[in-house]
A = this chain, B = another copy of it.
Amino acid sequence: MDYIEVLGLAAAILTTAGYVPQVYKTWRDKSTKDISLTTYLVLFIGVVLWLTYGILISSLPVTLANGITAFLLLFMLILKFKYK
């Protein structure tokens, strides 16, 4: 793996794991007033498209990263509806 691929892997890990603190904070505080529902809906649709794209080009990193991100975004949407 050359340094450019390592850079892409690090970027994928950060832009996936990055949502975990927000999910934890929302789950703990049970408050979503400041959180934009539109943002999480649009991001979720976009990430599902990335997931489909990753499957179609048979790229495991793209598929895996966006699969996990889709799950985290879906969890945020559920919390947003639950704690409107």
Chain A residues proximal to chain B, CB less than 8 Å: 4, 7-8, 10-15, 17-22, 24-26, 29, 31-36, 38-39, 42-43, 45-47, 49-50, 52-53, 56-57
Given contacts A25-B36, A53-B7, A56-B4, contact A43 B31 (CB under 8 A): no
CA distance A10 to B51 in the complex (A): 12
Q: Cα distance A64–B59 when bound, in Å? A: 21
With a cutoff of 8 Å between Cβ atoms, the chain B residues found around residue A53 in the complex are 4, 7-8, 11
Beyond A17-B42, A53-B4, A57-B4, is A35–B11 a contact (Cβ under 8 Å)?
A: no
Bound form: Cα–Cα A66–B47 in Å = 14
